[in-house]
Homo-oligomer: A and B are copies of this chain.
């Protein structure tokens, strides 16, 4: 055990910090759930890529820096510290990216990853269907082989970023006779293919963060399939593991929120209940614990370990921590907390807390509802019967 950064790691941190200070936009970008904001964020992805910061863990040949996971964590810490914009391409770089690394052919990696790192292709995900939310094995949308193409018919929903994205990846039933988790394949679909209709779904805050996708005889080349035909479920489970796992919810995000919460509390300590102190300390501790846990996981993975069921533990922990931190913040803000948009009181950044709160409510739901995660922990870690 050695809990000190190496000189190389310190130098990397310094490099990222300096670069971010020079490049992070001074003005907050518009929401990437608007057409204009989406392109602003794509622009930021290009800026990142210009500094070879698109996805530092990828090999240099694919647009990265070959950074290890500790360096990745350092990068993320500096990213959030700098208040850099959200990653509009998170579905790509954090979910599809690792999946491609593991299951993609050399051709597929070269075709998709550099464009992903550059922000040229922004990705949406196509998991859920109206009848298949937490129960993903109930997917019915079909992709039927027709020569060198699959012909897709059906409907996806809750497709994050799909309103404006260029591509989507998802799970489709390639064997029409199959049921549950058999007979599905993992396919990448350009969203400008004829036959695709997108219907934006407004979120709680009114912005279209996700969309329904309707597929009507949509033809996709066979080489867009990832892995073998029928292997889709296993690949999707790996992707879902990434989603719940290490990269998508890097601890720095929650540590930054905890820090803002401490500062908010310090400004309002005198008027709030004494019990808030303990809530704020708990938030700080939990954000730290999440970071420490991630450093342990990263150290284990670097030493050759595999990620396991801890992904489910992580998912529950960060999502409930995030919600709880935002609830505490709104409670501190009191009657001012209802402000969805306002110039008032910018010191407290009320609107950011409120929107963050609304977003945090999705945490325990998406990427496998926490109820499902608790089932997984009980059945796979504690060996309780199904």
Contacts and interface: CB of A to CB of B under 8 A. Distances in A.
Contacts of A274: 274-275, 277-278
A278 B279 CA distance: 12
Interface in A259-288: 273-275, 277-279
Q: Which 7 A-B pairs have the closest CB atoms?
A: A274-B274, A275-B278, A275-B275, A274-B277, A273-B278, A274-B275, A275-B277
Contacts of A278: 273-275
A286 to B, nearest CB: 15
10 contacts: A273-B277, A273-B278, A274-B274, A274-B275, A274-B277, A274-B278, A275-B275, A275-B277, A275-B278, A275-B279
A271 B275 CA distance: 14
Given A274-B275, A274-B277, 8 more contacts: A273-B277, A273-B278, A274-B274, A274-B278, A275-B275, A275-B277, A275-B278, A275-B279
Q: How many of chain A's residues touch chain B, expressed as a range? A: under 10
Nearest to A273: B278
Interface in A44-59: none
A279 B278 CA distance: 12
A274 B274 CA distance: 5
A247 to B, nearest CB: 35
Interface in A265-317: 273-275, 277-279
A126 B273 CA distance: 48
A274 to B, nearest CB: 3
A123 to B, nearest CB: 38
Nearest to A279: B275
A273 B275 CA distance: 8
Contacts of A277: 273-275
Interface hub of A273, A275, A278, A279 (most chain B Cβ within 10 A): A275
A351 B275 CA distance: 27
A150 to B, nearest CB: 38
A140 to B, nearest CB: 24
Contacts of A275: 274-275, 277-279
Contacts of A273: 277-278
A285 to B, nearest CB: 13
A378 to B, nearest CB: 15
Nearest to A274: B274
A277 B278 CA distance: 11
Interface string A213-249: 0000000000000000000000000000000000000
Contacts of A279: 275
A343 B277 CA distance: 35
A332 to B, nearest CB: 14
Interface string A161-173: 0000000000000
A273 B274 CA distance: 9
A81 to B, nearest CB: 29
